[in-house]
Amino acid sequence: MAIEIEKKFLVVGDDWKNNTSSKIYFQGYICSGSGTTARVRIAGEKAFITIKGKHKGISRLEFEYEIPLEDAKILLKDICQQPIIHKRRYLKKFGDFLWEIDEFFGENEGLILAEIELSREDEAFPEPPWLGEDVTDDGRYYNASLRTNPFAVWGNKK
């Protein structure tokens, strides 16, 4: 069984951009609601379909499978709920951990989030200097929520 254990943070400053690699992502939702999602994602030249279960703390079930890129393009255009999330994902090593930092575009422009996947909920990790507020428990920052309630609408209203 695949379990995702993840924490999510706002990012401050731009020092995090040094020594990173990145890819453009397009991400759409076949369905989302009641805490579960089915999404399609194009990451660079690869594509995936992912099903996520409801959160239990910072953990949830996650099943992800690679699919043909052309299938993903059709799913994003013709099947997924609109609009599509568009972002650039950077990979940043800090200590022994790999951070995923998402810089959003479109209606979510200005939002930069850092995510870390852990091996257990109580796992300790060093906090990089560019790490801001912990927003793990704030549903507005989930990608599925950003699709229907974009950052541009509430960005300055915490």
**pLDDT value, residue 1:** 58
Domain ranges of the chain: 3-154
Q: Contact at 8 Å (CB) between 64 and 53?
A: no
Q: Identify the residue whose tokens are 């401050």.
A: 12
pLDDT tens-digit readout, 39-85: 999 999 999 999 999 989 899 999 999 999 999 999 999 999 999 99
Let me know if 90 is a catalytic residue: no
Catalytic residue among 29, 90, 141, 142: 29
Confidence class of residue 113 from pLDDT cuts 50, 70 and 90?
very high
Residues in the chain, total: 158
Q: For position 157, what pLDDT does the model report?
A: 55
Alpha carbon distance 2, 4 (integer Å): 7
pLDDT at 158 over 70: no
* CATH among 1.10.287.540, 1.25.40.20, 1.10.287.130, 2.40.320.10 for 3-154: 2.40.320.10
* pTM greater than 0.85: yes
CA-closest candidate to residue 12, choices 136, 120, 140, 111: 111
Longest pairwise C-alpha distance within the chain? 42
Which pLDDT band holds residue 34 (cuts at 50, 70, 90)?
confident
